[in-house]
Structure 1
């Protein structure tokens, strides 16, 4: 999409009957282009969204503002004044004063949405911070695509559209989270290593992975690999491998495989060892689990 020129569009939505129960509520959304030297914000927004004489504003909702062209400045109670540019996303928190505006020489183009809800509050609390309201652009094209789909739903209301429109909010937040991880090289490298180990462990549950050789192949020591894997998954690589085998065993038993055949197909040294590991993980021996599952 050509982000050098976008048409202005906005919607401010009253709450529907299912807004509270859904966990996500879209309050407002839109896009606009602010030419260089223009007043900001442009006219047409409700009074509660206006900035005061000091250029500040405090909202009762979360907002997400994606800058797609141009640049400017941002400041909030928890963040000193910073420059922002195309690709950056501003996260605004309820009850937190903030001020931002495009540069007089550059202007900017933006997409925005406002939202609230129990699920929204949980995600914002656990994955985003008031002290880091400027999110770097890593998946800007994908975010623009989601915004355009959202605005299309707002332009052409359909039955159930309130929930469909709200579903775009967690998609955008997930992209922001992924972009934040990708922007931090050391953390991105950690994620890359963990994903590589997970993929290898999932390849063949019947084979015991040579973890030291895998660490060497990935260019790290086994102790570092084990530490990073536990940090990101809560399990050591070997524990994770055992969980994969036992979950696979449960699937095979549910599909009608015998205990002995399941133990053999997954590489267990004996039925006794398999049964003991199964009971430790699921609280029942495989024979009891199968009988209970079949209702016998």
Structure 2
């Protein structure tokens, strides 16, 4: 971002074809609000549906990711309730959610935003990837996210063919990165190192019949606590992680016409081929033979 430019934003339209993509972007931009400003938001340049008076608040009919990369201020969840916001905070606004916000007059702030809508985004929120009660994500100022906003502004201003698909990808990536940085902020370095070490142990001993309890023992942790931390960190249990890796290995081995399914089962540590068949179908939706015929034309 160039300091001499105080604002740069674009409001966009989308076709039905764009909407069929599943995500459309309606606005993207940044604005520098200097300290001791007279009014907020500035009175020019913004369409009526995006303009608001802080004392009255507003509702939008789309999602918006508002990123504060300098300064501080306040965010209102209702006329009576507020949250302090500062540099490095990402604010996720949902459709029809009343809100208001404004920078501190002593500091001003620099804000970046991207607004979007579509069924693909609706599914992210309906499937509880984001806590309905959480609005502020304290992810710090991430240069890669700032660069994405700047790239989005560039693409929007050029408004070339298929720019909506490009912008949709950026919006989706910013949302995913917000989840990534916020989620990992919950784990301390020691926990990260222990789980990373556990993953290495699993991969190095995958074909030696290692169990989740064995891994917990090797990193000097009780199994119950290890299982909880591993699932919190990765989203799956350690036993599930081990099985997934074995199934990935099985898929690769099925590509060979020289290795029988029974041999693959034994190689991966499944003493009972019936159990191997059951696990394979659970994770892939196919039996090994069906998978081989479908994807390797055997």
**Same fold by TM-score, threshold 0.5 exceeded?**
yes
The aligned counterpart of 1:30 is: 29
The aligned counterpart of 1:180 is: 182
Residues 135-150 of structure 1 mapped to structure 2, 5 A cutoff: 135-138=137-140, 140-150=142-152
* Structure 1 residues 58-113: Cα deviation after superposition (integer angstroms, max 9, x where no partner): 11111111011111110124993111111111111211111100111111111011
The aligned counterpart of 1:16 is: 15
Deviating more after overlay: 106-115 vs 4-13: 4-13
Q: Which among 277, 280, 295 is matched to residue 279 of structure 1?
A: 277
SS at match of 1:144: helix
The aligned counterpart of 1:41 is: 41
Deviating more after overlay: 21-30 vs 223-232: 223-232
1:262 aligns with 2:260: no
CA contact (8 A) 2:137 2:182 kept: yes
From the superposition, tell whether residues 154 and 286 of structure 1 become closer, same or farther in structure 2 (CA, over 3 Å). closer
SS at match of 1:159: coil
Unaligned 5+ residue runs, structure 2? none
Q: CA deviation at 1:169?
A: 0.8
Residues 54-69 of structure 1 mapped to structure 2, 5 A cutoff: 54-69=55-70
Q: TM-score, normalised by structure 2?
A: 0.83
From the superposition, tell whether residues 78 and 36 of structure 1 become closer, same or farther in structure 2 (CA, over 3 Å). closer
Deviating more after overlay: 54-63 vs 74-83: 74-83
CA contact (8 A) 1:69 1:87 kept: yes
The aligned counterpart of 1:116 is: 117
CA contact (8 A) 2:54 2:101 kept: no
* Structure 1 residues 144-191: Cα deviation after superposition (integer angstroms, max 9, x where no partner): 0111111111122322111011110111111111122123247x8766
From the superposition, tell whether residues 194 and 16 of structure 1 become closer, same or farther in structure 2 (CA, over 3 Å). farther
In structure 2, what is the Cα distance between the partners aligned to 1:134 and 1:163?
A: 27
Deviating more after overlay: 226-235 vs 89-98: 226-235
CA contact (8 A) 1:5 1:33 kept: no
1:203 aligns with 2:204: yes
CA contact (8 A) 1:138 1:183 kept: no
Q: CA deviation at 1:247?
A: 3.6
CA contact (8 A) 1:93 1:130 kept: no
From the superposition, tell whether residues 214 and 279 of structure 1 become closer, same or farther in structure 2 (CA, over 3 Å). closer
SS at match of 1:31: strand
Q: CA deviation at 1:194?
A: 4.6
Deviating more after overlay: 55-64 vs 120-129: 120-129
CA contact (8 A) 1:111 1:147 kept: yes
SS at match of 1:174: helix
In structure 1, what is the Cα distance between the partners aligned to 2:213 and 2:117?
A: 47
CA contact (8 A) 2:40 2:54 kept: no
* Structure 1 residues 174-230: Cα deviation after superposition (integer angstroms, max 9, x where no partner): 1111122123247x8766655543443233532222644532443421232234445
Q: TM-score, normalised by structure 1?
A: 0.83
CA contact (8 A) 1:33 1:108 kept: yes
In structure 1, what is the Cα distance between the partners aligned to 2:195 and 2:175?
A: 22
Unaligned 5+ residue runs, structure 1? none
From the superposition, tell whether residues 20 and 190 of structure 1 become closer, same or farther in structure 2 (CA, over 3 Å). farther
